[in-house]
């Protein structure tokens, strides 16, 4: 913990939950309306990690989903595609086999004993490496929250470093499960820990527990990304996931991220939405009629 305390002391971790809530309310009051436009809806669509993480997922179902991604431009020629697709490790091979590379859509996969992260580090590293070997471009992992709560922050940091190494050239997206963290201070600390360990993205939630993504967590996590960038010049990505389902939800998160981090982050190299329902809802808002494509 002492090693991590040195890290935390370099940043503003003196956060109050009530002040964070008020800051988010002020941002939305000032900026939501100007972002609530069709152009922003289209931008948000291009930020989506199209996700299927069901225990019942089959190769046929995932193959069908990938074919819809392949065919998307034929049905919506004026639209950008999604940024990535996200599946379980065992379904990466069929995803890679069906998804056409020329689409420019990345393959993301959850790994390292998602969603609980409650296993041996050797198992997490092996699964991560095998998932990359199978063809994943991005790996989404969860921090060991139990160890974090127990004060073993250095151990959590070291685990993430090992997972980063196992990713090789693939990007590492670290899930904080922010809804389980007990305060703004813990969210800030977990964000800094993950970034320092080598995360290319930090992500709010697995979508497997409540609460999932919140605007307050987004504000805190983006604040950590901004401070880190100001100190190092290194840009880290941000991904809200879990419960981001409606067009209004997307615009609210877009507004908070844009206000804290700025236009430089408003692209799918640095900003993603983890969502399964959001894609059709955004298409419905864009075309002003019900669309059920995905």
Catalytic site residues?
Answer: 140, 203, 239
**β-strands 48-51, 273-275 pairing:** parallel
- Token pair of 221 as six digits: 């996590």
Helices (H), the chain: 2-8, 17-35, 38-45, 59-75, 92-98, 121-134, 145-149, 153-167, 184-197, 215-232, 247-261, 278-287
- Token pair of 6 as six digits: 């040195």
Q: What are the phi and psi torsion angles at 280 (to 5°)?
A: -65, -35
CA-CA distance, 288 to 291, in Å (whole number)? 9
- Name the residue among 180, 90, 182 with its Cα closest to residue 144: 180
44, 282 contact by CB (below 8 A): yes
């Amino acid at each position: 913990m002492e090693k991590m305390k040195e890290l935390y002391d370099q940043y503003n971790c003196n956060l109050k939950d009530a002040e964070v809530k008020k800051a988010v309310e002020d941002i939305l009051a000032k900026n939501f309306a100007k972002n609530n436009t069709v152009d922003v809806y289209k931008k948000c669509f291009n930020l989506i990690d199209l996700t299927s993480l069901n225990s019942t997922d089959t190769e046929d179902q995932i193959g069908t989903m990938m074919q819809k991604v392949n065919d998307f431009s034929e049905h919506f020629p004026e639209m950008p595609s999604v940024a990535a697709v996200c599946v379980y490790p065992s379904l990466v091979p069929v995803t890679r086999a069906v998804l056409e590379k020329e689409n420019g859509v990345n393959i993301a996969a959850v790994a390292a004993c998602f969603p609980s992260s409650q296993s041996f580090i050797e198992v997490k590293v092996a699964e991560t490496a095998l998932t990359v070997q199978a063809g994943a471009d991005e790996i989404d992992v969860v921090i060991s929250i139990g160890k974090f709560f127990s004060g073993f922050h250095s151990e959590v940091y070291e685990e993430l470093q090992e997972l980063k190494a196992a990713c090789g050239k693939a990007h590492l997206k670290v899930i904080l499960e922010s809804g389980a963290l007990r305060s703004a201070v813990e969210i800030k600390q977990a964000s800094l820990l993950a970034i320092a360990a080598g995360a290319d993205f930090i992500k709010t939630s697995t979508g497997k527990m409540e609460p999932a993504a919140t605007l307050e967590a987004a504000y805190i996590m983006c604040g950590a990304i901004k401070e880190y960038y100001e100190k190092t010049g290194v840009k880290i990505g941000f991904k809200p996931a879990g419960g981001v389902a409606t067009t209004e939800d997307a615009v609210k998160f877009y507004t908070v991220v844009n206000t804290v981090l700025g236009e430089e982050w408003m692209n799918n190299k640095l900003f993603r939405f983890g969502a399964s329902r959001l894609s059709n809802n955004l298409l419905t808002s864009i075309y002003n009629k019900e669309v059920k494509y995905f």
